């Protein structure tokens, strides 16, 4: 794996070392934000140069709502208000590329309340995109069909939360 990925043997080994505690999934929290033109907010990740919706790993001491607000501010400079939870997905149930961690993905609908785009250390670019003109996505983080589902769910507030 090290030769193919370019990741050191030590880093790969650390991913497969048994935890001393009970193993639990990592939680990826994503803020789903659309503008008045029905365009979705995406950020271009420095890690792979591809685009995703704002978000990241859940932090200890923060609620999922707080993580969505914090990650959006850190990655874009925008202030948001949480509207509602749209989906909780088990990454293995979707066409994401394989990875070393077991992950649940939470998609939280937010709306912009203020702020302005800013520069940040781990984001190369940011912007709103029409659903039919998405840039190359970071498929480890988000799939085109997940963005389409989030758009469908936001237009149907009576729909239940999507849950794997």
pLDDT value of position 9:
83
With a cut of 80, say whether residue 14 has pLDDT above it.
no
With a cut of 80, say whether residue 163 has pLDDT above it.
yes
How high does pLDDT run on average in the chain? 94
Q: Say yes or no: domain 20-163 is CATH 3.30.420.40.
A: no
Q: Which of 5-9, 33-37, 43-47 has the lowest mean pLDDT?
A: 5-9
Query: 15 with 23: CB under 8 angstroms?
Result: no
- As a whole number of angstroms, the distance between CA 147 and CA 24 comes to 26
Terminal-to-terminal C-alpha distance of the chain: 30
Residue 5: name the closest of 98, 122, 123 by CA: 98
Query: 138 with 55: CB under 8 angstroms?
Result: no
With a cut of 70, say whether residue 17 has pLDDT above it.
no
Q: Where are the domains of the chain?
A: 20-163
Q: Which of 7-16, 36-45, 80-89, 115-124 has the lowest mean pLDDT?
A: 7-16
pLDDT value of position 21:
73
Query: 102 with 28: CB under 8 angstroms?
Result: no
Q: Give per-residue pLDDT as tens, 138-152.
A: 999 999 999 999 999
């Amino acid at each position: 794996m090290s030769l193919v990925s370019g990741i050191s043997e030590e880093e790969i080994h650390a991913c497969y070392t048994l935890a001393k505690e009970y193993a639990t999934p990592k939680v990826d929290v994503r803020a789903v934000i659309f503008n008045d033109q029905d365009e979705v907010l995406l950020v271009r990740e420095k890690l792979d140069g591809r685009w995703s919706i704002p978000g990241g790993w859940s932090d200890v001491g923060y609620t999922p709502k707080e993580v969505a607000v914090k990650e959006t501010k850190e990655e874009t400079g925008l202030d948001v208000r949480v509207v509602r939870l749209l989906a909780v997905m088990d990454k293995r149930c979707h066409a994401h590329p394989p990875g070393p961690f077991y992950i649940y993905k939470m998609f939280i609908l937010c709306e912009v309340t203020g702020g302005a785009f800013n520069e940040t250390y781990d984001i190369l670019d940011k912007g709103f995109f029409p659903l039919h003109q998405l840039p190359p996505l970071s498929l480890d983080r988000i799939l085109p069909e997940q963005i389409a589902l989030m758009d469908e769910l936001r237009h149907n507030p009576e729909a239940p939360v999507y849950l794997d």
